Amino acid sequence: MTPITLFENPDPAPAVPGGPLCGTRVALQPTISVAGWPTDAGSAALAGFTALEDATVVQRLRQAGAALTGLTRTSEFGFGLHGSQAGEAVRLGAADAELVLDMMGECRVAAARAGAYGLTPSAGLVSRLGLIGLIPSMERCGLLARSCGTLHALLAALAGPDGRDLTLEEAPPPAPAPLPADARGVTLGVIPQALDGLPAAQAEGFRAALARLATAGVAVRELSLPEYDLFALVHAIVGSVEASSCAGRYDSVRYGRRPPGAKNWNEMYLSARGAAFGTCVKSFLIQGAFFQFERYAAYENACRIRARLVAAAQRLVAEVDALALPLPDRVPEDITAAPLAEICAPFGCTRLASVTGQPALAMPAAGACGALQLVGPRLGDARLLALGETLAAVCREGK
């Protein structure tokens, strides 16, 4: 696919010269607000909407000297990758980096698909002000680039407190602990349950990547997490309830189209929401409404389970330098009606970090090695990127 750039030199506010990102070309999805740019988030609910102000991440890109090259096509509200061209601008050299909304692993899978690196930062590290998504407690501004070094520069420019986003950490992240000089001494934790039900080719590629790293001296340690399958369930329940509530704004009063013919406000509301969303997002919202209004106890239980899973994942990652999880490098392209189950299927191994708020780094396939992702402790993003650079050198040697 060719990336769709909606503007040829569109940025009316030039970058600050001499900044740390000077000369870096950054593409964006229309889920990220840029003043004066169309920001429809890939949805009919926002058709024709133009952002009134810059998202915080856009302000910081400009302050760091980055050049905004344009917008690439996204799935509806950035949910899933069906119809999305995330990563294509980087793969084809039209941009050096791209900002991609990540709700269940979209940035990481898009990075693997493009043969690039992708970082989902820790929750509370990068401002979400000006992002248009569906799942506030799980969505983050993902970073996608050709190298871990570029990701590190982007993160340094974007991270930090924002007085208009109260979900951010006020204190600076802790200084990263030192890493071994090379791959010897690095320990990765593998969760065997994460391999259950994987396509054979993906499981084989993941094992090949681990074998290549082990040959270079990386210690691979099995860590059991019996409740691993609950990450997907918690994401489905909690995420859909949040989405159902979040999407209530698209009622044709403030946002969204207003189909003609409604006889009262209730008909107007129902017809507007029916016309606003595509099949996949609509299915997700209906699922959320079911748990919100018919099975609220299940939602409460999912929130309790989420807290338990967060604690379990934190304990595991404290025992190793990072968790290593499989990562698909493709998504189905032949989904006609975009059923929810098929849209979500590729993200079974990426939702751990989405649920826990931990940082996750996508490592592209190299040679006979498959793609994988590294998950580190929350706010340990800098060390995770340094670890990624160390292991990337090993993977390059294996080509």
**Are 77 and 33 contacting, i.e. CB atoms less than 8 angstroms apart?**
no
Rounded to the nearest 10 degrees, the angle between the axes of helix 230-246 and helix 279-293 is 90
C-alpha angle with apex 219: 218 to 224, nearest 5 degrees?
Answer: 135
- Could you tell me the residue ranges of all domains in the chain? 25-182+324-397, 230-303
Q: What is the pLDDT of residue 1?
A: 43
Task: State the average pLDDT over residues 248-276.
Answer: 81
Task: State the average pLDDT over residues 71-97.
Answer: 94
Q: Which of 76, 77, 65 is nearest to 25 (CA)?
A: 65
Is pLDDT above 70 for 4? no
Q: CA of 321: how far to CAs of 180, 307, 354, 376, in Å?
A: 10, 22, 19, 7
Q: CA of 198: how far to CAs of 34, 203, 334, 366, in Å?
A: 39, 6, 20, 20
Alpha-carbon distance of 144 to 150, in angstroms, equals 9
Q: Please state, as a whole number, how many other Cβ atoms lie within 10 Å of the Cβ of residue 314.
A: 14
Identify the residue with better confidence: 8 or 308: 308
Band of pLDDT at residue 263, cut at 50, 70 and 90:
confident
Could you give the count of Cα atoms lying within 13 Å of 187 in the half-sphere of its Cβ? 10
Task: State the average pLDDT over residues 183-206.
Answer: 91
Q: Two tokens at 334?
A: 């032949």
25-182+324-397 belongs to CATH 3.90.1300.10? yes
Q: What is the pLDDT of residue 174?
A: 72
Band of pLDDT at residue 320, cut at 50, 70 and 90:
very high
Alpha-carbon distance of 310 to 72, in angstroms, equals 33
At residue 20, φ and ψ (nearest 5 deg) are -65, -20
Query: Any residues with CB less than 8 A from the CB of 125 and at least 6 apart, and which?
Result: 155, 159, 168, 169, 173, 359, 379, 381
Band of pLDDT at residue 271, cut at 50, 70 and 90:
confident
Q: What is the pLDDT of residue 368?
A: 63
Band of pLDDT at residue 8, cut at 50, 70 and 90:
very low
Band of pLDDT at residue 396, cut at 50, 70 and 90:
low
Identify the residue with better confidence: 13 or 70: 70
Identify the residue with better confidence: 359 or 332: 359
Band of pLDDT at residue 259, cut at 50, 70 and 90:
confident
Q: Two tokens at 104?
A: 């269940």
Q: What is the pLDDT of residue 76?
A: 95
What's the gap between Cα 11 and its chain centre? 25
Length of the chain, in residues: 399
Band of pLDDT at residue 334, cut at 50, 70 and 90:
low
Band of pLDDT at residue 127, cut at 50, 70 and 90:
very high
Alpha-carbon distance of 129 to 122, in angstroms, equals 15
Q: Two tokens at 365?
A: 């396939």
Q: What is the pLDDT of residue 220?
A: 95
User: Could you tell me the maximum CA-CA distance found in the chain, to the nearest angstrom?
Assistant: 71
The sign one gets for the Cα dihedral 87, 93, 94, 97 is positive
Q: Which of 64, 120, 73, 112 is nearest to 91 (CA)?
A: 112
List pLDDT tens digits, range 47-69. 889 999 999 999 999 999 999 99
Task: State the average pLDDT over residues 303-312.
Answer: 98
At residue 143, φ and ψ (nearest 5 deg) are -120, 135
- DSSP class of 312: H
Is pLDDT above 60 for 10? no
**pLDDT over 70 percentage in the chain:** 93
